[in-house]
Amino acid sequence: MKSLLVFIILTAAITSYSADDQKVKSGLFEVQNAQNQVNILFNEVNPQQQERVRYISQRLALAESYLQQSLNQYPNPPTPQPPPYQPPGSDVKVELFQSDSCQGDLIGIVNASTDCSKFSGAGNVWAIRVNGKCQDIDDTSAINACRLYQNAGNTQAVKVYKSDNCTDSLSGIFSTFSNCESLPNNGNNAWAIMVGNKCQDIADTSLTMSCRAFKAINSQRAVKLFHSDTCNESMVAAIDQNTNCETLLGLENVWAIQTNGQCQDVSDIDVVTACKRFKP
């Protein structure tokens, strides 16, 4: 990190003393190279360091725009854009198979950024393989499997099961970055969720509703709502400051909440009211 900053400072110093176009072009080339290195570095540091790298990227982009203006390439400076955030594991490949054992009939390979529409008409998927591990799934179309499992490589993803103990019947996987509306909203295919290595029983619901309800479950400030007085089962939702309470309409009533690991019995209320009342 320090060596990169020194390089950036030296580049700025060189270009500041440049009076002719050739030197400005050389300085512009060096700034662009530095920006490329910053983009690579962004995905290799922890989230706290990413904010510092993002700031450096913005300053480089601004410096680049000034140099480009000096060469009359742009009448107006472009808006500096930070490197896009990549969720952990978003580049992990998820293989889709028309085989319960992942031994043959590979339908396709997807990840979090895949455009699933390209799998229209590609056949059905019976199993997925992530990091060498095969997982049998309920048979579904390739386009649907892509939408359901493309986030499987995300280490912060939430796995949804049509099973109270998370041992079989993987229904789908979503993350903070998922479009919940692209998931099936018919039937009660979500009975439990797995976050990390912990299985949590939830109030039975659809995949779409489970995505809306538990997108915030990894948030440090999340407040968990339960259809249970003891907070041991039937979790209804996990909410934070970004939760849209109205989207939870239709979920079970709330009997207790859990915040900072402490369970608190509450007067039984509907989930939307509970969300608005206890939202952090």
End-to-end CA distance of the chain: 35
- The answer to whether residue 133 is domain-embedded is yes
- The whole-angstrom separation of Cα 4 and Cα 215 is 36
- The answer to whether residue 175 is domain-embedded is no
One domain, residues 26 and 63: yes
One domain, residues 205 and 251: yes
Give the per-residue pLDDT at 71.
65
One domain, residues 125 and 96: yes
Give the per-residue pLDDT at 197.
87
One domain, residues 272 and 186: yes
One domain, residues 94 and 58: no
- The answer to whether residue 263 is domain-embedded is yes
**Structural domain tally of the chain?**
3
One domain, residues 278 and 186: yes
Instruction: Name, in order, each residue with C-beta under 8 angstroms of 220's C-beta and a sequence gap of 6 or more.
Output: none
Q: Which of 115, 139, 155 is the last residue of a domain?
A: 155
- The answer to whether residue 123 is domain-embedded is yes
One domain, residues 48 and 98: no
Q: Which of 70, 96, 124 is the last residue of a domain?
A: 70
Q: Helix, strand or coil for residue 44? A: coil
pLDDT along the chain (280 residues), means of 10: 50 49 73 75 65 75 74 57 64 90 91 89 91 88 91 86 86 86 82 92 93 92 94 94 93 95 93 94
Strands (E), the chain: 94-97, 106-110, 124-130, 133-141, 158-161, 170-174, 190-195, 198-205, 223-226, 235-239, 254-259, 262-269
Tell me the CATH number at 9: 1.20.58
- The answer to whether residue 15 is domain-embedded is yes
- The answer to whether residue 166 is domain-embedded is no
Range of 113's domain? 87-155
- The answer to whether residue 46 is domain-embedded is yes
Give the per-residue pLDDT at 58.
77
- The answer to whether residue 163 is domain-embedded is no
One domain, residues 250 and 195: yes
One domain, residues 224 and 199: yes
One domain, residues 242 and 192: yes
One domain, residues 101 and 192: no
